[in-house]
Chain A
Amino acid sequence: MNSNHKRLSIGGRIDREQPVEFTFDGRSLIGYRGDTLASALLANGVTLVGRSFKYHRPRGIFSAGPEEPNALVTLATAGRRQPNLPATTLELEDGLVAESQNRWPSLAFDVQSINGLLAPFLSAGFYYKTFMGPTRRAWMFYEHFIRKAAGLGRAGSGHDPDRYDISHAFADVAIWGGGPAGLSAACAAATAGARVALIEQDFLLGGQLLAEQSDSAAAAWLRQAEAELESSETVTLMKRTTAFGIYDGNVIGLVEQRDPSNPQLAGEARQTFTMLRARSIVLATGAIERPMVFSNNDRPGVMLASAARSYLNRFAVLPGKKIIVATSNDGAWRAAFDLADAGAEVIVADVRAAPSTALAAEAGRLGVVVRAATRIVDLNGGHAVRRATLNGPDGQPEAACDLVCVSGGWSPTVHLTSHLGVKPQYRDDIGGFVPGAFPADRFGAGSMMGTYSTAGAIEDGHRAGIAAAWFCGKSMPVPAPSKLDLGETATALLREAPSIGRGKAFVDFQMDVTTGDIELAHREGYESVEHLKRYTTLGMGTDQGKTSNFAALASMAALRNATIPETGATTFRPPYTPVAIGALAGCAIGHHFKPIRRTPMHDWHMANGAEMIEVGLWMRPFFYRQSGRDSNEAYIAEMRSVRQAAGLMDISTLGKIDVQGPDAAIFLDRIYANGFAKLPVGRARYGVMLRDDGIVFDDGTTTRLAENRFFMTTSTAKAADVLSRLEFLLDTAWPDLRVAVTSVSDEWAAMSVAGPKSRAILSAAFPVLDVSDAAFAHMGLLESEWQGRALRILRLSYSGERAYEIYVGATAGEQLWSRLLEAGRPFDLKPYGVEALGALRVEKGHVAGPEIDGRTTLDDLGLGRMAGKRTGFVGDVLRRRPAFQAPDRQRLVGLECIEEGKRLRGGAILFLPGEKPYGHGRGRVTSVTFSPERGHYVGLALLAGDVASEGSEVVAVYPMKAETVRARIASPVFLDPQGERLHG
């Protein structure tokens, strides 16, 4: 067949000068710029486009918009795979490659359509009944086959080569929908002085006006409105943009498709996820036409009447030559007239007894055959409809056809208004749900509110635009809108009962839910709409039941002999249409997944063999590759070098807080469990903070720089939490304390020189400073300058060795680091990483994050003496509660591995010898290291106090690796309990 044989030679909004090549299931086809994939397929005579979800029934193009339940395709071009896209919303672009879904081996010949024959077994509830309860094991066996047989398109598994962006936008008034109501609202709001964002999912503005002939008055009105909006500086037109949800604070989630017709955008994001913040919102989302329910109503060639009109007038495609228009209202007659005018033979089957005389007269003029009080009961034809069985006053005549247009009335698109809890309300006069009462900053207009005439929608939009602008304080005078009357007649809707012949009658095309399934649900007691939905999967497809919802409600209402409001409606939730995960992630993937923090010495580490590790957001050296062949060998070598000579560690990641003010000492006294008020100037002190509930919060060292000024360090992990907590106490509890707290974490590069040779290295690096023990004692401070930057040296130890923490202005960090290594070379100074740092502190019995885990108290950690009898500090009262004193409360102990060649593991569960290793045990191992000092693994553990006697044995069980190892309870301090090495 020749290409585009269903295309008309004139009319439409396509550009015949710009042909577009595309591929569908391997066939090369031609469409035009301005086509959707669906319109181009129809123009090429492709009527079979997919197979249904469960029964693999052949399906065609049903709609011309995002409500499409059938024509879902997978886009599959070079390395990309995006499944389940409605062909009706895909803008045709050069090189587009689409595949039909859920068929094997081919669309026309699908072996699984045999599922149709198995249909009696695949009804609603089939899975529950078959595979739950005693037969559940069968599910394990059959799941694979069932999942393969039922379903939609398949996603790709490769890396997505496309780029996605996230952006932020602002407007006074956001208007959702670019049809007559939305356009009119946008013009009015902009004239009133508001900044307007007009959101339209289509690549053209106009909504239903696009289905009017391109030389009509409607088209002229549209051109004028578009020109007005394009020329306005305060209006942003967002075409190709789907609003998928409204969220708190009037934040609207938008996904914008890249314009494929603009070659300049080729490198830009394929989709942009925009969060639009608006002060008020006008919803003008239109309405969706309802299908009719009869046997085999899902055959390819059955189409919504408004869609057929849109394909004819917008895309210049005549989708059929012998057409039956089945309707329950006046609207579909306009499709019948236009189709007849374009040369098709048309029969109108109207379920109503007496359609208006005006319509009948026009039908007569155009040669349209009218059958009143007539409905379709069955359709014939496999891959395309061939014949319809009608039922009316003339009996059951059959009629040949190649297209069946259906219209069961209209449903206002209330999905979006439901997102923030506006409940739909049933309006009997229009036979549909409209939104209930809006909050003050939201407005509705047009057919979404049940105003179905174009003239009414324009009036409605105008009023809503003015009101929404007024809400934002914009109230410049707005002239009346230019009128457009398409002469639509008000349509009294007949509550139409489904008429069923021999075949299945579908309610939800995408989920393959039939009237039979609804009857079954009713019979089995699933009468509430929420139960109905879950039992039958009605409305749970990617189309969210946009075309099916109302028919299902009406069926259930009829079965229950109830009204529609009594039956109720389900709740719609975001997203309105599916959103690609890529768009939500935007550019926050790969190295941008989270922001990365680098210390001032980062580049040195990278250039000098450091294996880096993420610690929170920080990148830190894990170990240095020159220290050993693997991490185990390296950290032990780095530990030895600290214990025997000296090591240099980048500790810039520590949280650092400047605390200043006349009441700073009083403040510190309240926030630390141990006292600081009497700390002399020039001295540092280790401090522990508690939470209000008496649990340890964080630890660190605070140094008194001056009478009114302290320099606090926190753990790397808790830096932000501690600062926030200090600010909380100052703002909410003790605002009379004159204290300022400021993060200076980024201000200082920090490094620790640890080991017996550290003093000699310091002295070599800073010849002008007196670092003798007499001048610079343990826990002392030395302040100076280096290369014009402030320098602070604290004599503190974490490893148990003599050690110094050196702080210098961040911009000089790398320079000082190199200087220290150079000065330390004669003393064998080596850099070490966080693995060795952790191992050194375990050997010394210092607690850290694994022990300060938000569950332990000072007493648990053996630090109770720090608080002594002090009172009046945070956590003081609740730390003394009786439960914390229970004899079996877990407390810190040391463990030594006593099995040759075995190791301890962090996370192992502790049991008594002979105890069955089951449940939570008596405690757990928190931190471990190999101890070069002891020659075996040692660890810290939290162990029930009533069994934690030093010298006795426990069994450490690690089920993840099926390991069991015996250990002896010891003091947590494995090295130098007298602390002599601090001065060594």
Chain B
Amino acid sequence: MLRIECPCCGLRDHDEFRYGGDASVTRPAHDDPDPQAWYAYVYIRANPAGLHREFWQHVTGCRQWLVVERDTRNHAIASVELARKLAPRKSLARKSPA
């Protein structure tokens, strides 16, 4: 069983988490009209034998989405971070929040 070190909750069993797919692909902006960009985001995967960045949600814990770096060859986990910390900050055409 994989055990994932949740930055909020500590080392927990993988059945407390939900897998969320490849975190190395870049999601186009919500209003990006380019089909190629969406096609690449939805379908194109590198599938590496080695370190893989992937999303996991601590779904029965703090419910935070995490970015986990896992070695696909031996399941060794190199790093875990809150996805929110790594996410691009701007999707809204808005002045900085009050």
Contacts and interface: CB of A to CB of B under 8 A. Distances in A.
Judged by CB atoms under 8 Å, the answer to whether A and B touch is yes
Interface of A: 247-251, 275, 277, 420-421, 663, 666, 670, 692-693, 720, 724, 727-728, 731-738, 871-874, 877-878, 880-881
A663 B92 contact: yes
A880 B91 CA distance: 23
B30 A733 contact: yes
A248 B35 contact: no
Contacts of A877: 32-35, 38
A275 B30 contact: no
Given A728-B20, A732-B55, A735-B89, A878 B30 contact: no
Given A247-B1, A728-B57, 14 more contacts: A248-B1, A251-B1, A275-B1, A277-B13, A420-B74, A732-B55, A732-B84, A734-B91, A736-B91, A737-B92, A871-B31, A874-B30, A877-B33, A877-B38
Contact of A732 (B27, B32, B75, B97): B27
Interface in B52-98: 55, 57, 59, 63-65, 74-75, 82-84, 87-92, 94, 97
B15 to A, nearest CB: 11
Contact of B55 (A670, A728, A881): A728
Nearest to A881: B35
A775 to B, nearest CB: 37
Contacts of A728: 20, 55, 57, 65
Contacts of B84: 731-732, 735
Interface of B: 1-3, 13-14, 18, 20, 23, 27, 30-35, 38-39, 41-43, 55, 57, 59, 63-65, 74-75, 82-84, 87-92, 94, 97
Contacts of B14: 249
Contacts of B34: 877
Residue of B20, B34, B64, B91 with most partner-chain A CB within 10 A: B91
Contact of B64 (A275, A277, A731, A880): A731
Looking at chain B's contact residues, the main secondary structure is loop
Given A734-B92, A735-B89, A871 B33 contact: yes
Contacts of B27: 732-733
Contacts of B65: 727-728, 731-732
A878 B35 CA distance: 6
B38 A727 contact: no
B33 A736 contact: no
B30 A734 contact: yes
Contact of A251 (B3, B20, B90): B3
B63 to A, nearest CB: 6
A523 to B, nearest CB: 38
10 contacts: A249-B2, A251-B3, A277-B13, A692-B41, A693-B42, A727-B57, A733-B87, A735-B88, A738-B97, A878-B38
B1 A666 contact: no
A724 B18 CA distance: 9
Contacts of A873: 30
A257 B39 CA distance: 55
A248 B11 CA distance: 13
A737 B35 contact: no
Nearest to B94: A736
B1 A249 contact: yes
A262 to B, nearest CB: 31
B32 A248 contact: no
A736 to B, nearest CB: 5
Contacts of B94: 736
Contacts of B89: 735-736
Given A727-B63, A877-B34, A666 B92 contact: yes
Nearest to A691: B42
B83 A731 contact: yes
Contacts of A736: 89-92, 94, 97
Nearest to A666: B92
Contacts of A693: 42-43
A880 B89 CA distance: 28
Given A724-B18, A733-B87, A736-B92, A248 B30 contact: no
A717 to B, nearest CB: 16
Contacts of A871: 31, 33
B9 to A, nearest CB: 15
A277 B3 contact: yes
A878 B39 contact: yes
Given A277-B3, A728-B55, A692 B31 contact: no
A250 B91 CA distance: 41
A108 B14 CA distance: 53
Nearest 7 pairs of A and B residues by beta carbon: A249-B3, A872-B31, A731-B65, A734-B91, A248-B75, A735-B87, A877-B38
B3 A724 contact: no
A666 B87 CA distance: 19
Contacts of A277: 3, 13
A878 B42 contact: yes
Given A248-B2, A663-B92, A727-B65, A670 B35 contact: no
A473 to B, nearest CB: 14
A727 B20 CA distance: 11
Contacts of B42: 692-693, 878
A634 B91 CA distance: 53
A191 to B, nearest CB: 25
B31 A731 contact: no
B33 to A, nearest CB: 6
A395 to B, nearest CB: 58
Nearest to B36: A877
Contacts of B23: 732
A626 B97 CA distance: 60
Residue of B38, B43, B75 with most partner-chain A CB within 10 A: B38
Nearest to A669: B30
Contacts of B92: 663, 666, 734, 736-737
Contacts of B1: 247-249, 251, 275
B17 to A, nearest CB: 11
A670 B57 contact: no
A670 B30 contact: yes
A247 B1 CA distance: 6
A731 B3 contact: no
Contacts of B75: 248-249
Given A249-B2, A878-B42, A724 B33 contact: no
B5 to A, nearest CB: 10
Contact of B91 (A720, A724, A737, A881): A737
Nearest to B43: A693
A938 B35 CA distance: 39
Contacts of A275: 1
A733 B82 CA distance: 13
A249 B74 CA distance: 10
B3 A421 contact: no
Contacts of B55: 728, 732
Contacts of A250: 3
A554 to B, nearest CB: 31
A64 to B, nearest CB: 34
A738 B97 CA distance: 9
